Amino acid sequence: MSVVLEVRDAWKVYPGNPPVESVRGVSFTVERGELVAIVGPSGSGKTTILNMAAGLDRPTSGSIRIAGRAAHGLSDRRLSGLRAHHMGVVFQRFHLLDHLSALDNVATGLLYRAIPGGRRRAAAAEALERVGLGHRAHHRPHELSGGEQQRVAIARAVVGRPELVFADEPTGNLDTGSGAGVLALLDELNGDGTTIVVITHSEEVARAGRRHIEMRDGQIVHDSRSSG
Amino acid sequence: MTATDRPRTFPGTPATSGSDIGLSRLRAADLIPVATGGLRTRRVRVLLSMLGIAIGISAVVAVLGITRSSQADLLARLDRLGTNLLTVVNGSNLSDAEVPLPATATTTIGHTEGVEAVAPTAELAGVGVYRSDKIPPQITGGLSVRAADSSLVSTLGADMLAGTYLNEATSRYPTTVLGHTAAETLGITDLSGAPRVWLGGRWYTVIGILRPIELASEINRSALIGFPVAARDFAYNDRPSRIYVRSQTERTLEVFEVLARAANPKNPNEVAVSRPSDVLTARLEVANATTTMFVGLGAVALLVGGIGIANVMVISVLERRSEIGLRRALGAARRHVAAQFVVESFLLGTAGGVAGVLVGVTVTYGMAVHLGWQVIIPPAAMSAGLGTAMAIGVLSGIYPALRAASMPPTQALRTS
Ligand SMILES: Nc1ncnc2c1ncn2[C@@H]1O[C@H](COP(=O)(O)OP(=O)(O)OP(=O)(O)O)[C@@H](O)[C@H]1O
Ligand SMILES: [Mg+2]
């Protein structure tokens, strides 16, 4: 088994009076092909740990290794390169660019790898097919439903076949039906071999029956694969 | 999970050092569409922010174009009139009447090297010209009576508006040719009905009217009569009071130096030699000074325009925080975010510059055509205008771009 993500004793302390310790000594590993759900109450540090794992934020202390590479000490350009080449991110607010079609939004996922436009769009068309939206490629985000927009965002995250896909409450802005559809899609992508770390609500994960990490007050209180 | 051995389109290699991580890279060809994305969605604001630059550049281009065109016009006039015309006077007395030169002055000047043509004139002191004999003599209307011969027309390059100039025959009779202003002042616009003027207590028939002479305004204000009739009626004694001299153009300064002595060898320092074209040259310098001032104003407009663009860009950066965060999440490095905003600002400046140059050229063209000038738009003004606009675009974009680039991605993503 190969380890794709390794978080070791990560701390995140926001300076202030008193300082906010939003993540306090978190360690876990994710192996290739896993789907890991991070659950826990609001404010427990889920987003903070996900952002650090995705290289969007740096831990105050501790180490993060992504696809075997230590994230700390990397220059901005290399850390960004790590995101561009090895990771995909999905947000609760879909963050699609309004002036671009669904296809071009998905192709943006390859923009910072300096892949020529033609190849980006070809890969984007394929990714849209994978999320079942091949027929909506030329629609603008505002012409799509919330669930469809999130599927476009997921296609954008997976268009470069990254080693790791992070999703922060991808169903948070969706009704139950579309939310279930999005989770089913993540399941399906995971079945195809994509490694996924997703923050979500516990009932949905219970239904999925996969590994979950439960957080509280900045610490992991339960990991269903306790060996991690 | 058994995905490990699955073939991957974009393989990741399990290296342990950071050195082989693909860098975040953005192709230059993608930078333009990325940068224009922000412009396409806010058209009104884009137009407004371009306005300052466009006004500044068009002002500079138009001012330079208009002054250059008008200068070309002045230069063409200078060329036509010649910078080689000199006038010689013996100073003027207390009542502002010209003092006569020695009778030999015309001949000696004519023999001076480098002199091409000489035209003596004599202001007849105390002789006035009037429309009728009922007008009191002190009301001169600023007009004077001057004796001259046909050399005047050739030396000054004067043209007739109506009638003919004095010739050998008419110089002997009470006939007169009026300068342009004199004719206007006397209310004589044409020669129909053989108009006469009351000149020095006698009736003189007007046989011709001159067109305005640019370099000799005193001729414009004169009634010209022949030397013979001046001698007979007004005791003219062969002593001219003002001599016009055409020199060989390249020897003008040389001639200028020696004219005083040639005109009045006994008292050369009483003689005043002048070059009428200096007035036009001075006007050119005034035009240059005005240009500098207007270009300065244009520069102020450009500065304001640049601040306007910077302002719009700062607002744009704040509004697009979530886009910036997203791009960072997709793998954009700080430099790519910065480049996006600098290029966006550069494009704003360039568009403003192009609009400004077009407006400036149009204004210059319209003005020059309207005033009958040759249209001259200095290419340097256009390229410098465009270049300045581009530079302003880049400069105004730097601060907003740095702000965008330094925004932490997590914070940028939180706001929406
Ligand atoms: N920039 C910051 N400065 C100070 N404190 C912060 C900052 N960002 C997050 N926090 C704090 O860190 C803690 C963890 O935040 P985090 O966003 O990770 O929680 P979460 O588990 O994702 O919650 P939710 O389910 O509501 O999204 C919270 O108490 C939050 O207030
Ligand atoms: Mg959160």
Distance B324 CA to ligand 1 centre (A): 20
Tens digit of each residue's pLDDT (9 = 90 or more) over A194-226: 999 999 875 665 556 678 899 999 999 999 875
Q: In this model, does residue B204 exceed pLDDT 60?
A: yes
pLDDT above 70: residue B136: yes
More confident position, A206 or B38? B38
Residues of B in contact with A67 (CB under 8 A): 12, 14
**Ligand 1 nearest atom to the CA of residue A46, by list position:** 21
pLDDT at B293: 82
Contact A161 B10 (CB under 8 A): yes
Q: Please tell me the distance from the alpha carbon of residue A184 to that of residue B125, in angstroms, as a whole number.
A: 115
| Domain A33-44+75-227: CATH superfamily, name plus number | P-loop containing nucleotide triphosphate hydrolases (3.40.50.300)
A116 neighbourhood in chain B, CB within 8 Å? 27, 29
Q: Do B16 and A69 touch (CB under 8 A)?
A: yes
The C-alpha of B286 sits at a distance from chain A's nearest C-alpha, in angstroms, of: 54
Q: So where are chain B's domains?
A: 26-76+282-415, 83-277
Res. B13 pLDDT band, cuts 50 70 90? very low
Q: Whose CA is nearest to atom 3 of ligand 1?
A: A14
The pLDDT assigned to A162 comes to 92
Q: pLDDT band at residue B17, thresholds of 50, 70 and 90?
A: very low
The pLDDT of residue B157 is 86
pLDDT of residue A114: 92
Give the pTM: 0.74
Measure CB to CB from residue B9 to each of A80, A89, A161 and give the nearest one. Answer: A161
Report which DSSP code applies to A110.
G
Identify any residues that bridge with A14 across adjacent strands, giving them in sequence order.
Answer: A20
Cα A28 versus chain centre, distance:
16
Of B273 and B414, the structure prediction assigns the larger pLDDT to: B273
CB contact under 8 A, A80 and B334: yes
Residues above pLDDT 70, as percent of chain B? 93
Query: Token digits for B280?
Result: 């036009």
Contacts of A194 in chain B (CB under 8 A): 3
How far the first Cα of chain B sits from its last, in Å, is: 37
Which tokens sit at B76?
A: 């063409």
Average pLDDT for residues B84-96, to the nearest whole number?
77
Residue of A81, A156, A194 with shortest CB distance to B24: A81
CB contact under 8 A, B12 and A67: yes
d(CA A174, CA A186): 15
Quick one: DSSP state of residue B172? Answer: G
What pLDDT is recorded for position B291? 80
User: What is the tens place of the pLDDT at every residue in B350-398?
Assistant: 999 999 999 999 999 998 899 888 888 888 888 988 999 999 999 999 9
pLDDT per position as a tens digit, B150-201: 899 989 888 999 999 999 999 999 999 999 999 999 999 888 888 999 998 9
Distance, in Å, from the CA atom of A199 to the CA atom of A50, rounded to the nearest integer, reads 8
- Mean pLDDT of all residues in chain B? 86
Choose from A91, A112, A121, A164 for mutation: most chain B CBs within 10 A: A112
Averaged over A137-165, what is the pLDDT?
95
Ranges of H-type helices in B145-246: 151-156, 180-186, 217-220, 227-234
The reply to whether A160 touches chain B by the CB within 8 Å rule is yes
* Of B40 and A11, more confident: A11
Q: Decide if A95 and B6 are in contact by the 8 Å CB cutoff.
A: no
**For residue A38, how far is its CA from the centre of ligand 1 (angstroms)?**
14
Q: Which of A83, A97, A117 sits opposite B329 (nearest CB)?
A: A83
> Residues of chain B with pLDDT > 90: what percent?
38
Q: How far, CA to CA in Å, does B40 sit from each of B43, B337, B339, B347? A: 6, 18, 17, 12
Atom of ligand 1 nearest to the CA of A169: 27
Query: Mapping DSSP to helix (H, G, I), strand (E, B) and coil, where does residue B307 land?
Result: helix
Shortest alpha-carbon distance between residue A92 and chain B (Å) = 10
CA distance B416 to B411: 10
**Model confidence at B18, in pLDDT bands (50, 70, 90)?**
very low
Residue whose token pair is 């978190």? A26
Tell me what pLDDT residue B20 has: 62
Q: Are A214 and A184 in contact (CB under 8 A)?
A: no
Specify which residues B98 forms β-bridges with.
B92
Per-residue pLDDT band at B41 (split at 50, 70, 90): confident
Calculate the alpha carbon distances from B176 to A57, B97, B164, B217, B238 in Å.
100, 20, 10, 18, 19
Average pLDDT of span B38-56: 85
**Partners of residue B35 in chain A, C-beta under 8 Å:** none
A117 touches chain B (CB under 8 A): yes
Strand, helix or coil for residue B357: helix
Record: contact B26-A80, CB cut-off 8 A: no
